[in-house]
Structure 1
Amino acid sequence: MMRQTSPELPSLDPGITLLETDERMTGSLQSLVLDQLLLEQGSAIWVDAHGHGTTQPLTQITPSMRVLDRIHIARAFTPWQHQRLVQELTGELSDETAIAVLPALDWFYRSEDLPRGDDERMLSAVTERINELAERFEIPVLLTLQTDDTLTAPIHDIADQTIRCERTQFGPRFASEEYETLVYPLENGLVQTTLAYWKGILANRHPAVVDADVSPEVSANGAY
């Protein structure tokens, strides 16, 4: 085990943030949400798609199990259910909400069950609703996309910032127009961005809330 300076994570300001990652960056979305909750009081309202809000990654990453009580997840199983959940977010968001999370926003609207043209129409309505909610409640809204193409182009238009997370030999690198992760090389090895790696980052950033069984260290050579 090798101790290093705790890497910074990008701040999520009020407004819409679009997080872009590749498939190798497992846990980046969950880490940003947990970091926001550990920095701020309040809860996360999460409208899930494609299994991003499952219990396993969240419990593996969090440095404190208590913070998970503040994550409220609603799951849809069809595009119509997903659209309704987004439309009903007004009743869920409040002054106590620290962040709203909508991963894989386009996932349900690529269903073969949708009649032609309904994919664009329904996703457009969802996009407009999210933009309205972000302006009304002035909270961070974190989005991800399953696929970046013409269907999801309008989502880029409402994003106040886009953050790209990519894997490097030294660990995760976040970059946007106003933010860039510094590189944190270790002396004798590379860092593997596993769920345990994200857990180590959050434990270093928030030592006051770390559970007794969490090690506030980041490994070298991907070993824990």
Structure 2
Amino acid sequence: MTTTWFSGGNFHGQSLAQIMDLVAIAVTDLGSISERRLARLIDPTMSYGLPRNLNAGPQGVNTGYAAVQCSMSALVMENRTLATPGSIDSIPGKGNAEDHVSNSTWCARKARTIVANTEQIVAVELLMAAQALALTAPLAAAHPLGRGTAAALDVIRAAIPPALDGDRRFDTEMATALDLVRSGAIIEAVEATVGPLE
């Protein structure tokens, strides 16, 4: 006796597509919030008097972290474009045999790019916050950092010295900060000091 099998599965990735779209939207918002905080750091009118662009070198010949912030705002704009839901779009395929296509693969790829972009934005926020702390250290000596913040700063400073002599190549520092974020080294140091983060 011969048995014949026919595939009758209904394989549709709409639920995955919608979840990936939600992840993309949420992480885009996180990146946007982070970038706005670092934008405040370079603006003296919004940073309680920090030097413009966190510049520690001679004014007029150094730009500080201005271009770094611009790069992060570009990633935010890219994220916002990519966060447009893909799960709401459909082009029928296979001669209309697939009358509704979920675009789940595209939604997952977009979400992955947004996560990577946001990791870089958060890493730069940490880098620039460390610079701000270096610039205010003499004035804030009587006000020590919290234990968790100090632990995070120690990890950053072990890999990236403060920029106190003017401009230098910030792309290398941005990459190093990203490595610290992706490795989990900063979170591990903070949790070892203050306990698990909830």
TM (normalized to structure 2)?
A: 0.23
Higher-Rg structure is 2
Higher helix fraction: Structure 1 or Structure 2?
2
Higher strand fraction: Structure 1 or Structure 2?
1
Higher RCO (CA-CA < 8 Å; seq separation 6+) = 1
